[in-house]
Structure formats: structure tokens, C-alpha cells
Structure 1
Amino acid sequence: MPHLQDTPPIVLTIAGSDSGGGAGIQADIKAISATGGYACSVITAITSQNTQGVSAIHPVPTEHVASQLDAVFSDLQVIAVKVGMLADADIIRVVAKKIRQYQPQWLVVDPVMVATSGDLLLQRSAIESLKNELIPLADLITPNLPEAAALIGANTPTNEDQMGALIEPLRALQARAVLLKGGHLDQTSDSNDLLVTNHHSELIRSQRVVTTNTHGTGCTLSAAIASYLAQGHRLHKAACLAKQYLTQALTHADELDVGRGHGPVHHFFAGYSHVR
């Protein structure tokens, strides 16, 4: 049943900071807040970033990542955790260790590797650590097509048939479920995602929103899923609700005037009004 208490459920985002405010920790906090959760955060890296790209990445020392996690989990009743950018293998191992220690009810892992601008956000040497240490702990992983291909050593799909061929290799990663995001199939009029569990797969369909303001879409979707899971929705329902939320945030994205590159989605479209 959905969360019925007056107090919003607590959702922890573990990710990097985007100084431009469109992706990473900033997007996660906005998405969790807009969808009914209480957001807290652990920052794994500080990026110098805007809508045009990433100019620098500074990983947070592992001991401070660990101390942030201890501070949050020792005091706050975290229901769901969303994991985004982890930067390197040492940070991945620390996060996995703390997840095993504190055992939150839900773990959503967005295997962030490349920014919308094309900048690399995860050291290639860390991909094996992600696969071995963290993904097997996840209730859901949310790769886009290039990320899924990188995880299983395949070519990036260019159509839905090729997308479907990734199902079994992705199951072998041992997460409880996978939401394979099809947004990169931009030659189609739809933007469909494939929800894969141990014994079932299903397309979650939506109309493609035509906009260049797509910065932070992956962060936003996975954070919204974690928020809806924390509120008591089952996985399929949480994924559908998050997809609907993201579609609306993209639909309203052009109402914002942020930066000169790939602008952000409009997280607070529902309560936004111009101040004149």
C-alpha cells in the first residue's frame, strides 16, 4: 500500500554534486521532494559542471563518504536509497559496505557512467567493482542503453529488438530487477523503457518529448522511483509513476531558461508560477 503517514518517507541519494543544478545530487533532491519524499544526501564527488559539460571532477575522500553514510543512517530512518555517480572503485566499495551494514529496505542503483554532454563520470576501471560489489545488492538498476552495453560488454542497441537481446545478460548481473531505458533510440516517436525481473519483462511506454533540455533525466527518473518505493508502491507501479513524472518534467522543460547547452528538466512543474 502507498505511504499514508503525514510525514514524507526518507529517501537517501548517494551521488555527485552538479554545480549547474540540473543533474546529480541536486536533481535527485528536487525529484524526491517533488514526488513526495524527504531527501537526504551523501556526496561522492564534486563536479565543475554546467549545461555544456563537465570541466572537472573531484572525488570525495572515501573516509568522508563513509562518515556521511554513518551520520545519515545512524539518525534518520531511511526507507529507500538511490545511488548515482560513484566516480571510482574505492568509493563503490565503501558504499557497498555501508549498504550491507545498514540494509535499507530499497536500493535503486543508477549506473552513471557518462553525462548527457558525453563526459565520462566513472573511471572505466571501476565498472567491474560496480558489477561485483554494488549491483548484486540492488533491488533495481536503471541503465540507459550505452550504460547497459558497457556493463555487459555489448554494442549499444539501435532498435527495440536489439534492446530486448540485452535482457538475459542484464539478468546475469544479479540485481533483482532492471529498468533498461530506451531514450537513446531517438529515431522512434516513443521513449519506451523495459522493466526486467527474474521471470518477466514489460515495456513501459510513453510518447517521446521533443526538447534539448534533457540534462539530468536519468538521475531524475531513478530518484523518483526510489521516492515512490519509499511511499509503499510496488516496483512496477513506482516505475510507471516515475516515468509519468519525468515525462511531465520534460514536457515543461522548455519553460525554463537555464544555460546554453542541454538544460535541465522542470522538476517543479506542478507548483511553478512566474513571479512578476
Structure 2
Amino acid sequence: MRAVIVAIQGRRAAALASDGAVYRVDAAGRSVGQVIEVASRRRRSWKKPLSWAACAAVLCAMATTGVYAAYEPYAYVSIDAADSIEYTLNRFDQVLEVRAVGEDAAPLTETLQEQIPRFSHLDLAMERTMDQMYAAGGLTGADSDFVMVAVSAKTQEKTARLKEHMGTRLSADRPDGKEPPPAEVIPVSEERCALARRLDTTPGRLELVGRLYAGQEAPSRKEAEYWLDKPAGEIVRAPLEQEAPESNEK
């Protein structure tokens, strides 16, 4: 019988089964939201139905809260190098969705969707994303490499924790011995994320293009689209005098 882990306390975990029963299982290797198989068992007869009803109500409330927390989108992480992808996370830093940002990122995202099962932890997702970016040539180990990461969550405290954690992960030594690429992590608001999605880009790319034109006349739409399609490393290192399409459109 299928069951979903809804709470973990110490060495034990609570799993809500498809028949509505809550099972106590070993917590080792488990995570909230994980789907497991449990053996069905015969229901016990309780001599104190009122006590059982109260207990069941508490367990059901805990289970409902746990399931909601496991499936509720709570934070977003976008990663820009040559291509751009976005993770949707729950409050436990587990990946609910991996999304391509732009058509060019579709092949990379298809591979990552196979390698990052739902409810994988963010650390595993980042490790496999970096590996695939190197494998696909989006990162090469050259000086032109650059990774821009934008993080956003429903609370400022969570956003700050994600920013710090991602910065630590990106600066850590890689298992293959390669130097970690130059990277920056920025916190952004949910409104900024929504704007980026409407423009089919990421908050990180918006930030980089905004810096490129800082103190200058705002770019035309054609100019902005030109730079938003460029690899993050190229935008970072581009002087404003670098070739860009000329346009009078504002």
C-alpha cells in the first residue's frame, strides 16, 4: 500500500496511507513528502472509541498539515549560466518542479527532470545541475564562466537562509576536483519573480542586464532581449560599448 511521509520526529516517522491510516515507520533515509510502500494491517478494536476518535483527529490534522507543507510551493531558485532553469521548492528545501526558462534550456531541463526526482533535496539538485552544465558545455572551467543564482521565498528569513546556503554550496570544492565557477547569489522578491516569468526570463538575468545599463539610458526592448539571451558570463563581462542591436524603440 502506498503512503506518504507527513512528519518525522527523532528515529520515527508518520506515514499517511491510501486507506487513511497513519503508520509509524523508521525515519532512517526518509523525508517529508516521500512516497513509500507499507504493509496493510488489520485494524484493532478499541474499547475507548472517544479516546480513539480524539487521537485520530490529532493524527489526521498532523497528516493534513504535513501533506500540505510537502506539496505547497514555498520558494524559488533560478540558476543562470549559458542556459537558465528554475526550481520550485517546498518549505523543506525539496524540489517540486524543475522548469526550463527559455527554449534553449529544454534539453538540459529534460535531463535534470530524469535525474532529480520530486522531493529531492536542493543540495542534490544543485550538484546534478552543475554536473550537467559542465557536461553540456554551458560551463567549461574557463575564465568566462559565471553562475547567477536568484532566490525567493514566502518570508524574508527563509530567503536569507537560502541565499547563505546557496552561496556556501556554490563556493565548495567540486567532487571532480574542478574549481567552482565564479558565482553570485541574490535575494529577490516574489513580485520580481512574477515579472521575470512574464518576460520569460529569470530574476538573475534581469539583475545582470539592469547592472549593464546602470546610470545609462534605459535599453530598448530589442536591446534588452538581445542581452537577456546571452550567457550570464558574457553579460557580466560586457562593456556597454560592446555590439548590441541598434534601435530607436523604447
TM-score bucket (shorter structure) = 0.3 to 0.5
Larger radius of gyration: 2
The normalised TM-score by structure 2 is: 0.32
Higher relative contact order (CA 8 A, sep 6+): 1
